[in-house]
């Protein structure tokens, strides 16, 4: 056994070493595939590498399983790479797999009790554009589309006018200007405030030409379908990037089918643009639906279930603590991302425990920076938003010189008679960290993911015994307990009408005072228990009966009871 | 249809095909001995008996026969396959010799999304048959086929349809498809469906005699019906529900039968998951049948009108399906106008708004057509029991009188005693699956014709575009003004307000082509009297027009340089194409 473990650890370490050749930065699809294949090959009995689906452009979307198939759970899904810009989520998911494959005692113990599924690249076409030049903010899949619904596709994309390899911003001095420069060196812009006597000076545009002459710039840039917002709950109909219908992207409906077909997955973690960890849902904005009533007349709500929210808030608090954050951090765009997002769907529709984090944002980074002295604060611009941008920019340029480009004059073909400048942040600068941060982020996040897996519900038969009655009848006394952090079925799980209750099945005897298949009420986490008694009559000639505890996502247990042992 | 009856009919068909003596005795009336009645052809190329129902093979066989008999007017297209592998077919009907079908406004019509609502399939088949067989007899039908296309799908739930015909059922069972489903969340699928305890081929009712019953014999029909007793009485029976046993020992009867989801809650618009909408299935278009229909519809952007057929109740339903959902004012007026015209054509039918007058529907097909695609769509709930005696709201006694007096007791199984494994001695009996929601044979054809012509009226209101006189005015310096009305004679605008507001389809467009002409500016005339024009600032060569209103016009104007012959062309994805030549002299 020791020998086998040692070999596996060596094989896993080799696989990881080979795969991390480019791990100083972000890895391409080819690198990722290599890591996944080697990790699976080195741990054939524990890991599995497969293809979840192919996207609309026929790129593979991989599914990695760590831990054996475990029909009764517990199991967790980590999904990343839904938004093409969010390569950091994909990279962290990959490093999590590497951690699970490292052969360490901690990983082996985790996988002996839990199964973890990881999808690193839900949007392979979008993620691939991250490596393109010029770098552009491309959240959706690829392919020309008519996002402005004018009957023509891809007729106005962005151009790298200053040739610096990134699509940034343009500002043009123009009578129709709406913004004024602010901050150190006038590097930032904000809307002019007419009440303060300010007059707009700059037009702020994204970098490129108005190719179709409609006085809108780059309106078909990033026009392809948003995979990250293709899930059915609160689907953003008719918004830019929305598919024509929810769940119409092949990998999206494949993932939903996968979740239905694998009810043992009780927890879903999304590393992406959704967030309920850096900013946990407001306890004042919840829903408390009647789970006892029928479904007739129910009205939808995408607010968190009031009764489950404390669990989520506790996990969020622990997450922030692990990152060194003292409080909540706002995540711009997270509420939009939740519309049609995976975490919201998994929670609201499927009743699973779903958490989501962007892993890193400029706001999070700012919250981690040391407190400024009063003097330093005074030196910042008066406008709070500009002050934050400036401080982040100053932090960024020391770590990623491409992250910010100073404004430089250019000749803009659409404004030949006006001063124009190109510059600003790189397209991903505020949601994808410089590679130097990846090691620390991977460490904190893999620990968090492992801890989240361990929070799964875990039900077991606490005690089971037979008490002899008259005339060959017995009383079956049974106690069941949940030792996990999460309940075996969330309140939203009950409301979803999709999560099966934990069940008791009795074999080898007739139950005289009720049905033979008994559905249990939900068992709260951390010791929630239930007891029951049933009068049973053993089948002809039988000396034993079997009691099975069957849960979809909280494990399974079984006891064989002998009549000879009955009191 | 029971299996034994089906076998008998199949055997009869084989005998007929073999020219047996039985077949030779069949009489086929010579054409000269037939006098046409209004509303039907006297010599159809494809004879279809409209006093019976057909299974999926039957319906599809007729579609193929119609296409073979009318090759220039009908083509069979495979839409997809059901879960169990049955074909979903469409018959595409138009005059293929006139115009390009892809540029004609189209009407989509389907039926039988609920497997048990079988007459919907016959109504769609009848629509195909009527269009093809009457096109030479009725001028308006011929015009419809010249100007528009019909996409006709008699059954988009073929598994549910055949299950209803082939197995014991009641009027309400086999509503969904046949994908095994765990309805009671016990980890087993389809493990506790109903049983035909009395072997009559039907799922009827169970009751048990008891001195503490809730029901007693009905005074008028003591052997057939029961009535609830008052609080000061004790009845003779307790009602136990539909025929069946507790197969899985969970203390419930018939709680997890075959299938167990609702295909008409699986459409994308306002879809809600199982917790809110029972039967929603996994996600929008997660069913092979609805997904196939979605793909078929999305591949035909010329669809400008839609209709789905259900049963029962005598309703012409429009959206929205839920409180608070938007149907824009202009679209709502059109819904009402066509719906109320339908009420006149369909006695005993009421025009209703789904959520307000019926119930809330999340993820319905009708709502997807309007909300997601911007297409006016109705759902007709076929057949009303008002037709039994031509009196409104017949009660149970009136319905039973119809069974006794008009059907001569056909459609009712008398109560008989059986031993039930859980309930002990029970009585089983009641009306059959074919009574209550589907018309009896002799009332079926009227139902089909009236609904067919309702949809043809809707089809006639699809956009019908033409270009009025093209006025050319010389402006000097080689410039000319070209102005024309784009006229829509249909009541439906070329894009509904829902479409325009959400940019579901691209704007309509007006273009001018001509070797010697160059477009310098273009716009929409907003005030003809004072010459006000809303000019388009970019790409004048392709003038974007939101929509041409129903029964209205839009006046377009172009400033061109040069001279010579030109063509003004107007294109509307859902409204068709209009062209007119002119000359700048």
Encode pLDDT of B326-379 as tens digits: 999 999 999 999 999 999 999 999 999 999 999 999 999 999 999 999 999 999
Whether A516 contacts chain B with CB within 8 A: yes
The answer to whether residue A298 neighbours chain B at the CB level (below 8 Å) is yes
Q: Do A151 and B502 touch (CB under 8 A)?
A: no
The shortest C-alpha distance from B225 to chain A (Å) reads: 29
Is the pLDDT score of B77 beyond 80?
yes
Beta strands A353-357 and A115-119 are unpaired
Q: Check pLDDT > 60 for residue B20.
A: no
- Given CB atoms, is A293 within the 8 Å cutoff of chain B? no
CA–CA dist B300, B286 (Å, integer): 21
Give every CB contact of residue A242 below 8 A, 6+ residues apart in sequence.
Answer: A225, A226, A229, A235, A236, A340
Q: Please answer whether residues A537 and A509 qualify as being in contact, where contact means their C-beta atoms are separated by less than 8 angstroms.
A: yes
In this complex, do B273 and A349 lie within 8 Å of one another by their Cβ atoms? Answer: yes
pLDDT at residue B293, as a whole number = 98
DSSP B295-361: HHHHT-TTEEEEEEEEESSSEEEES-SSTT----HHHHHHHHHHHHHHHHHSTT-EEEEIIIII---
- pLDDT (average), residues B443-450: 97
The strand order across the sheet containing A517-519 reads: A517-519, A503-507, A544-550, A556-562
Q: Considering only alpha carbons, which residue of chain A is nearest residue B499? A: A238
Residue of B nearest to A291 (CA): B275
Asked if residue B331 lies in contact with residue B366, where contact means CB atoms within 8 angstroms, the answer is no
Q: A496: which chain B residues are within 8 Å (Cβ-Cβ)?
A: 273-275
CA dist., res. A498 & res. B275, Å (int): 7
How confident is the model over B281-330, as pLDDT tens digits? 999 999 999 999 999 999 999 999 999 999 999 999 999 999 999 999 99
Which tokens hold the place of B197? Answer: 């305890």
| pLDDT beyond 70 at B2 | no
- Mutation test of the interface with chain A: which of B275, B323, B363, B369, choosing the one with the most A Cβ atoms within 10 A? B275
B399 contacts chain A (CB < 8 A)? no
**Statement: residue A4 has pLDDT above 70:** no
Tell me the ipTM for this assembly: 0.94
Does residue A59 carry a pLDDT above 80?
A: yes
Longest Cα–Cα distance in chain B = 103
Nearest-angstrom CA–CA distance, B202 and B538: 68
Question: Chain B contacts of A260, Cβ < 8 Å?
Answer: 282
Higher pLDDT, A146 or A310: A310
Residues of B in contact with A514 (CB under 8 A): 251
Q: Out of B274, B502, B539, name the one closest to residue A238 (CB).
A: B502
* B238 SS3 class: strand
Kindly provide the b/e burial profile for residues B515-527, where b requires at least 16 CB atoms within 10 angstroms of the residue's own CB: eebebebbbbbee
CA-nearest residue of chain A to B572? A151
**Tokens at residue B242, please?**
């539909």
pLDDT at A431: 97
Residues of chain A positioned with their CB less than 8 A from the CB of B294: 245
pLDDT in tens, A263-287: 999 999 999 999 999 999 999 999 9
Nearest CA in chain B to A492: B275
What digits encode the pLDDT tens for the residues A414-428? 999 999 999 999 999
Report the pLDDT averaged over residues A195-221: 94
Does A239 contact chain B (CB < 8 Å)?
no
Residues 6+ positions from A59 with CB-CB distance below 8 Å: A29, A124, A125, A128
Average pLDDT over residues A158-164: 96
A497/B contact by beta carbon, under 8 A:
yes
Q: Which residues of B142-180 are buried (b: 16+ CB within 10 A; e: fewer)?
A: bebbebbbbbbbbbbbbbbbbbbbebbbbbebbbbbbbe
**Contact residues for A370 (Cβ-Cβ < 8 A; gap 6+):** none
Check whether A157 has a pLDDT greater than 90. Answer: yes
- Nearest C-alpha neighbor of A150 from the set A213, A85, A68, A226: A213
pLDDT of residue A495: 96
Chain A contact present for B141, CB below 8 A: no
Residue B108 in contact with residue B151, Cβ under 8 Å?
yes
Contact A5/B at CB under 8 A: no
pLDDT digits (tens, 9 = 90+) for A336-374: 999 999 999 999 999 999 999 999 999 999 999 999 999
Beta-bridge partners for B508 = B545
Summarize pLDDT for A534-566 with one digit per residue, the tens.
Answer: 999 998 878 999 999 999 999 999 999 999 999
Residue A10 in this model has a pLDDT that exceeds 70? no
Residue A194 CB contacts under 8 Å (≥ 6 apart), including other chains: none
What is the pLDDT, as a whole number, of residue A1?
37
Q: Note whether B284 contacts A499, CB cutoff 8 Å.
A: no
B275 interaction partners in chain A (CB closer than 8 Å): 295, 298, 349, 351, 492, 495-498
Do B549 and B490 contact (CB within 8 A), yes or no?
Answer: no
Cβ of A381: how many Cβ atoms within 10 Å? 18
Name the token pair of A151: 């009957």
Contact of A292 with chain B, judged by CB distance below 8 Å, is answered with: no
How far is the alpha carbon of B36 from chain A, nearest alpha carbon, in Å? 48
In the block, tokens 């997270």 appear at A334
Look at residue A222 in the predicted model and tell me its pLDDT: 85
What pairs with residue A505 in β-bridges? A517, A548
Q: What is the Cα–Cα distance from A418 to A399, expressed in whole angstroms?
A: 34
Integer Cα distance of B571 and B513 in angstroms: 13
Two structure tokens written together for B487: 């006229």
Which residues share a beta bridge with A546? A507, A560
For residues B29-58, average pLDDT: 95
Band of residue A115 on the pLDDT scale cut at 50, 70, 90: very high
Judged by CB atoms closer than 8 Å, whether chains meet at B249 and A212 is answered as no
Give the pLDDT of residue B24: 59
Compute the nearest-CA separation of A251 from chain B (Å): 13
Q: What tokens appear for A103 in the block?
A: 């052969």
Q: Which of B511, B575, B571, B508 is nearest to B545 (CA)?
A: B508
Interface test with A, best of B186, B192, B272, B273 (most A CBs within 10 A): B273
Percent of the residues in chain B that have a pLDDT greater than 90, as a whole number: 93
Concatenated DSSP letters for A438-505?
HHHHHHHHHHHHHHHHHTS--EEEEEEEEEE-STTEEEEEEEEEE-SSS-SS-HHHHHHT-SPPPEEE
Q: What is the pLDDT of residue A548?
A: 97
Q: B185 and A215 in contact by Cβ < 8 A?
A: no
- Is the Cβ pair B249, A517 closer than 8 Å? yes
pLDDT of A323 over the 50 cut: yes
- Helical pair A87-100 and A105-113, crossing angle rounded to 10 deg: 100
Instruction: Provide, rounded to the nearest whole percent, the portion of chain A with pLDDT above 90.
Output: 86
Is the pLDDT assigned to residue A5 strictly greater than 60? Answer: no
**Model pLDDT, residue B8:** 43
Q: Which residues of A touch B539 (CB under 8 A)?
A: 212-214
Which member of A149, A248, A500 has the closest CB to residue B503? A149
Nearest partner of A499 among A356, A355, A346, judged by Cα: A346
Partners of residue A243 in chain B, C-beta under 8 Å: none
CB pairs under 8 A between A and B: 117
Q: Nearest to residue B145, comparing CAs of B91, B185, B68, B196?
A: B91
Q: What pLDDT, on a 0 to 100 scale, did the predictor assign at position B101?
A: 98
C-beta of residue B55 within 8 angstroms of C-beta of residue B5? no
Cβ-defined contact of A150 to B506 (cutoff 8 Å): yes
The percent of residues in chain A predicted with pLDDT above 70, rounded, is: 96
Interface of B with A in 150-189 (CB under 8 A): 182, 185-187
Within 8 A by CB and 6+ apart from B214, the residues are B228, B229, B235, B237, B238, B239
Q: Do A247 and B283 touch (CB under 8 A)?
A: yes
B435 phi/psi in degrees, rounded to 5: -115, 130
Phi-psi region of A213 (alpha: psi -120 to 50; beta: other; left: phi over 0): left
Q: What is the predicted pLDDT for the residue at A24?
A: 57
In this predicted structure, the answer to whether residue B23 has a pLDDT above a threshold of 70 is: no
Measured torsion, CA atoms of residues A470, A473, A475, A476, in degrees rounded to the nearest 10: 160
Residues 6+ apart with CB under 8 A from A196: none
A532 half-sphere exposure, CB direction, 13 A CA radius: 21
Q: Judge whether B328 is closer than 8 Å to chain A, CB to CB.
A: no
Instruction: With CB atoms and an 8 Å threshold, state whether A232 touches B186.
Output: no
Distance CA A491, CA A528 (A): 14
**Cβ contact (<8 Å) for B538 and A214?**
yes
List, for residues B451-493, the tens digit of each pLDDT value. 999 999 999 999 999 999 999 999 999 999 999 999 999 999 9
Contacts with B249 from chain A: Cβ below 8 Å = 515-517
Residues in chain B with CB shorter than 8 Å from the CB of A548 are none
- The residue-averaged pLDDT of B421-434 equals 98
Q: What is the mean pLDDT of residues B2-17?
A: 44
Q: Do B504 and A149 touch (CB under 8 A)?
A: yes
A261 interface with B at CB cutoff 8 Å: no
Q: A146–B509: do the CB atoms touch at under 8 Å? A: no
* Span B84-139, pLDDT tens digits: 999 999 999 999 999 999 999 999 999 999 999 999 999 999 999 999 999 999 99
Bond into A417 cis (ω within 30): no
State the pLDDT at residue B9. 44
The span from the CA of B165 to the CA of B55, in Å, is 7
Q: CB within 8 A of B166, min separation 6: which ones?
A: B1, B3, B6, B55
**For an interface test with A, which of B188, B276, B299 has the most A Cβ atoms less than 10 Å from its Cβ?**
B276
CB B264 within 8 A of CB B317: no
Least Cα separation, residue A184 to chain B (angstroms):
39
Query: Comparing A117 with A215, which gets the higher pLDDT?
Result: A117
On whether the CB atoms of residues B364 and B264 are closer than 8 A, the answer is yes
What is the number of other CB atoms lying within 10 angstroms of the CB of residue B238? 16
Which pTM does this prediction carry?
0.95
């Amino acid at each position: 056994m020791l020998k086998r473990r040692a070999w596996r650890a060596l094989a896993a370490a080799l696989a990881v070493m080979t795969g991390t050749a480019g791990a100083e930065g972000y890895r391409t699809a080819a690198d990722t595939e290599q890591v996944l294949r080697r990790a699976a090959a080195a741990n054939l009995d524990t890991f599995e590498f497969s293809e979840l689906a192919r996207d609309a452009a026929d790129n593979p979307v991989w599914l990695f399983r760590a831990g054996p198939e475990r029909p009764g759970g517990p199991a967790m899904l980590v999904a990343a790479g839904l938004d093409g810009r969010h390569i950091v989520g994909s990279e962290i998911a990959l490093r999590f797999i590497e951690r699970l494959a490292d052969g360490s005692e901690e990983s082996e113990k985790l996988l002996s009790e839990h199964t973890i599924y990881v999808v690193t690249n839900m949007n392979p076409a979008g993620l691939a554009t991250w490596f393109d030049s010029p770098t552009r903010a491309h959240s959706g899949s690829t392919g020309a589309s008519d996002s402005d619904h004018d009957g023509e596709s891809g007729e106005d994309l962005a151009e790298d006018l200053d040739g610096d390899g990134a699509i940034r911003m343009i500002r043009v001095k123009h009578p129709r200007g709406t913004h004024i420069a602010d901050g150190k060196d006038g590097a930032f812009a904000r809307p002019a405030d007419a009440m303060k006597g300010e007059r707009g000076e700059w037009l702020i545009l994204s970098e490129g030409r108005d190719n179709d002459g409609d006085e809108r710039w780059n309106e078909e840039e990033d026009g392809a379908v948003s995979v990250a917002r293709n899930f059915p709950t609160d689907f953003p109909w008719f918004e830019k990037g929305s598919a024509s219908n929810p769940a119409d992207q092949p990998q999206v409906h494949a993932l939903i089918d996968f979740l239905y077909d694998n009810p043992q997955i009780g927890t879903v973690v999304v590393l992406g643009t959704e967030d309920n960890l850096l900013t946990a849902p407001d306890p004042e904005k919840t829903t408390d639906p009647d789970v006892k009533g029928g479904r007739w007349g129910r009205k939808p709500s995408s607010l968190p279930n009031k009764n489950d929210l404390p669990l989520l808030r506790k996990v969020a608090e622990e997450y922030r603590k692990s990152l060194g954050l003292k409080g909540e951090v706002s995540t711009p765009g997270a509420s939009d991302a939740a519309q049609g997002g995976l975490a919201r769907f998994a929670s609201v529709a499927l009743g699973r425990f779903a958490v989501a984090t962007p892993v890193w944002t400029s706001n999070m980074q700012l919250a981690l920076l040391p407190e400024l002295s009063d003097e330093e604060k005074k030196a910042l611009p008066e406008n709070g938003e500009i002050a934050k941008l400036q401080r982040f920019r100053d932090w960024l340029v020391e770590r990623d010189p491409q992250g910010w480009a100073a404004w430089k004059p250019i000749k803009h073909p659409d404004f030949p008679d006006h001063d124009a400048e190109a510059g600003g942040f790189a397209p991903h600068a505020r949601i994808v960290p410089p590679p130097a941060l990846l090691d620390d982020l991977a460490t904190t996040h893999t620990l968090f993911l492992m801890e989240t897996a361990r929070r799964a519900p875990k039900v077991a038969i606490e005690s089971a015994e037979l008490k002899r009655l008259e005339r060959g009848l017995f009383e079956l006394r049974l106690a069941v307990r949940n030792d996990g952090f999460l309940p075996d079925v969330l309140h939203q799980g009950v409301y979803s009408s999709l999560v099966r209750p934990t069940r008791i099945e009795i074999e080898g005897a007739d139950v005289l005072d009720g049905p033979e298949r008994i559905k249990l009420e939900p068992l709260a986490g951390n010791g929630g228990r239930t007891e029951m008694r049933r009068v049973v009559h053993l089948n002809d000639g039988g000396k034993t009966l079997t009691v099975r505890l069957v849960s979809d996502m909280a494990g399974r247990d079984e006891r064989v009871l002998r009549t000879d042992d009955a009191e | 249809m029971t299996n034994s009856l089906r076998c008998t009919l199949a055997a009869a068909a084989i005998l007929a095909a073999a020219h047996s003596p039985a077949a030779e005795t069949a009489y086929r009336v010579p054409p000269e001995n037939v006098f046409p009645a209004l509303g039907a052809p006297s010599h159809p190329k494809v004879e279809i008996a409209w006093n019976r129902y057909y299974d999926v093979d039957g319906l599809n066989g007729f579609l193929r026969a119609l296409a073979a008999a009318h090759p220039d007017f009908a083509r069979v297209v495979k839409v997809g396959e059901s879960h169990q592998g049955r074909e979903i077919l469409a018959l595409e009907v138009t005059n293929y010799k006139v115009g390009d079908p892809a540029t004609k406004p189209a009407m989509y019509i389907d039926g039988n999304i609920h497997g048990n609502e079988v007459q919907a399939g016959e109504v769609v088949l009848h629509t195909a048959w009527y269009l093809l067989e009457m096109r030479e007899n009725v001028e308006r039908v011929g015009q419809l086929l010249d100007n528009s296309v019909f996409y006709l799908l008699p059954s988009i739930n073929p598994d549910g349809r055949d299950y209803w015909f082939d197995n014991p059922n009641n009027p309400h069972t086999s509503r969904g498809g046949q994908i095994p489903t765990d309805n009671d969340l016990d980890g087993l699928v389809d493990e506790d469906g109903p049983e035909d305890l009395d072997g009559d081929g039907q799922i009827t009712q169970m009751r048990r005699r008891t001195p503490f019953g809730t029901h007693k014999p009905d005074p008028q029909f003591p052997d057939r019906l029961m009535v609830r007793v008052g609080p000061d009485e004790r009845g003779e029976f307790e009602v136990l529900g539909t025929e069946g046993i507790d197969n899985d020992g969970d203390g419930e009867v018939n709680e997890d039968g075959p299938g167990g989801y609702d295909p008409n809650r699986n459409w994308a618009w306002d879809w809600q998951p199982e917790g809110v909408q029972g039967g929603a299935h996994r996600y929008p278009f997660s069913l092979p049948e609805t997904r196939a229909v979605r793909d078929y519809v999305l591949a035909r952007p010329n669809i400008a009108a839609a209709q789905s057929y259900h049963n029962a109740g005598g309703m012409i339903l429009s959206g929205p399906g839920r409180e608070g959902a938007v149907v824009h004012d202009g679209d709502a007026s059109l819904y009402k106008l066509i719906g109320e015209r339908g009420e006149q054509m369909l006695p005993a039918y009421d025009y209703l708004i789904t959520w307000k007058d019926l119930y809330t529907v999340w993820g319905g097909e009708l709502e997807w057509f309007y909300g997601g695609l911007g297409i006016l769509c109705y759902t007709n709930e076929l057949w009303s029991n008002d037709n039994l005696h031509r009196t409104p709201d017949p009660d149970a006694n009136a319905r039973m009188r119809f069974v006794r007096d008009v059907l001569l007791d056909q459609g009712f199984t008398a109560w008989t005693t059986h031993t039930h494994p859980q309930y002990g001695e029970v009585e089983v009996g009641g009306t059959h699956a074919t009574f209550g929601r589907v018309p009896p044979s002799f009332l079926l054809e009227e139902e089909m014709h009236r609904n067919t012509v309702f949809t043809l009226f809707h089809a006639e209101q699809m956009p019908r575009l033409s270009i009025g006189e093209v006025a050319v005015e010389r402006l000097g310096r080689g410039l000319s003004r070209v102005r024309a009305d784009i006229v829509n004679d249909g009541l439906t605008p070329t894009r509904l307000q829902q479409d325009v507001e959400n940019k579901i389809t691209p704007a309509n467009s007006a273009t001018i082509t001509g070797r010697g002409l160059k477009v310098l500016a273009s716009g929409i005339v907003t005030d003809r009297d004072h010459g006000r024009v809303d000019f388009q600032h970019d790409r004048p060569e392709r003038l974007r027009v939101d929509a041409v209103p129903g029964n209205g016009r839009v006046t377009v104007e172009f400033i061109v340089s040069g001279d010579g012959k030109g063509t003004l062309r107007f294109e509307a994805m859902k409204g068709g194409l209009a062209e007119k030549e002119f000359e700048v002299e």
